[in-house]
Amino acid sequence: MIFDFAKSLSFEGDSGPYLQYTYARARSVLAKSAQQADLANLEETETARLLARFPEVVARAGENYSPQLVINYLLNLASSFNAFYAQNKIIGSEEESSRLALASAVAQVIKNGLWLLGIEAPAEM
């Protein structure tokens, strides 16, 4: 593995700031909404399916002493959420409640994953 300092600070691709930015983006959506998210109405999306895998990935990473499994998972989750965010209106949509629930869950899982990796999860960037 070759460390590239410039890439490590990039807001695109495989980097800590990319994950931090996705966490901040999801939190921003939630802050703009006055509604509480209802997890019972989650849409069946790739992002939702990825969310369900977090405990499994963390367990496997711990068993194998492989933090890169958590990193790869978080990058896949961030990519999936950002694609969802780019294609779908969240606040003001007919599916606002379930989409806010999705954003809330993504933010929490990314925050938890970053914590496991010793990386701060800033609410704003």
3-state helix, strand, coil in the chain (%, to 5): 65, 0, 35
Question: Per the structure block, which two tokens stand in for 29?
Answer: 């959506």
| pLDDT value, residue 42 | 39
Residue 14 lies in a domain: no
| pLDDT value, residue 98 | 86
Residue 33 lies in a domain: yes
| pLDDT value, residue 43 | 39
Number of structural domains, the chain?
1
Residue 10 lies in a domain: no
* Cα dihedral 42→36→79→95 (10° resolution): 50
For position 42, which CATH number holds?
A: 1.10.730.10
Domain that holds residue 87: 19-116
Residue 3 lies in a domain: no
| pLDDT value, residue 50 | 93
Give the span between the Cα atoms of 1 and 28, in whole angstroms.
34
The residue to which tokens 């990473």 are assigned:
61
| pLDDT value, residue 110 | 97
| pLDDT value, residue 62 | 97
| pLDDT value, residue 44 | 43
Residue 12 lies in a domain: no
pTM higher than the cut 0.75: no
Give the span between the Cα atoms of 89 and 2, in whole angstroms.
39
Residue 1 lies in a domain: no
- Which stretches in the chain have pLDDT values below 50? 35-44
